[in-house]
Amino acid sequence: MTHLWIGTYPSAGAGTPVGLGEGVWTVELDPATGELSEPRQVATSPSPSFVAAHPNGRVVYAVNEHTDGTVTAFDVTPDGLVERGVVPSGGDDPCHVVVDGRTLLVANYSSGTLAAIPLDEDGAFAGDATVFGHEGSGPNAERQEGPHAHFVALDPAGVHVLVVDLGTDEIRRYARTADGLRPDGIAATFAPGTGPRHLAFAADGRHAYVVGELDNSMHVLAWPAGTELQRVPVATDSLLAHVLLDGDRLLVGVRGGDVIARLSVGDDALLTPVADDDLPGSWPRHHEVVDGWTIVAEQIGGALTALGPDGSVASRLPLPAPACIVPIL
């Protein structure tokens, strides 16, 4: 069996009062059949909407998505997760977290800030965060009134940390130096109102695939130039969510349309729509390919769904407001 960590929102959903019993869960996946089973809540934590595992497999981190956000570190034990420490996230509504060696990188959505939290060699918190702010806005007055850091990643060369900013239609760039991070300009700029949310890099490191949440499109960039090669509309009257590159196919969650959109990746790195795989539930916030199965967190549907390579439903497991899926190391 393959075990998964599942981050969740409060059962009433994102933006509702936190700390009402929600937390981190584990779930089992049968690699042979795609069957999901044995859900178990292993930690209680306020709105742990995204989780990340330390490479040593002994520590798990969860953002706590609320105003004056926090990040919680847990020790992994045979019985579940035991809280090790809680620190400020460096902003409001942290929504994404990545482990980068001795640093924990956190994207804070509402404040638009990036936080770099130092870690010791065992993965424990080891000091105060360095916080990087940003300025700017976009034409969507409701969603782009200011910067909104939604996703943080390392570039393929390992030279920069990148922040996908939905509010300013940019990918921000920070140089990795011996003394920490240093702001290093803008890696890519999108058409006003695109609302970039998440990205995935091609295996060759020469192309990036960026979700436009607000324009309902996928954007193919030449990398590291950051120039746009292709824009592919994926949905109408819906909101795109997470993107994942799995070999020669790109998988995009469509909230509202409640499908996983499949696109093929050509030898030239450009995209061709293939199919929209219907989900039995609603609001696919995050998905991960595990043992060949696409596991989807249906946030509003309140369940995890496993899809086969052809898009058929292999299994479905009720779970309150799932928001993130991470295989257990």
Which of the four pLDDT bands, split at 50, 70 and 90, describes residue 243?
very high
Overall CATH class of domain 134-278: mainly beta
- Report DSSP state, residue 125: B
**111 with 89: CB under 8 angstroms?**
no
Smallest CA-to-CA distance from 251 within 206, 211, 191 is with 211
Q: 25-62, pLDDT tens digit by residue?
A: 999 999 999 999 999 999 999 999 999 999 999 999 99
Q: What is the pLDDT of residues 113-131, one digit of tens each?
A: 999 999 999 999 999 999 9
What does the alpha-carbon distance between residue 154 and residue 181 come to, in Å, rounded to a whole number?
12
Q: How many CB atoms are closer than 10 A to CB 201?
A: 18
pLDDT by residue (tens digit) across 83-108?
Answer: 999 999 999 999 999 999 999 999 99
Q: Give yes or no for residue 234 having a pLDDT over 90.
A: yes
Instruction: Give me 281's structure tokens.
Output: 């539930």
Share of the chain above pLDDT 70, in %: 100
Confidence band for 12, pLDDT divided at 50, 70 and 90: confident
* DSSP codes, 29-72: E-TTT--EEEEEEEEE-S----EEE-TTSSEEEEEE-SSS-EEE
Measured CA to CA, the distance from residue 307 to residue 108 in angstroms comes to: 31
Q: What are the domain boundaries of the chain?
A: 134-278
Residue 66 near residue 47, CB atoms below 8 Å: yes
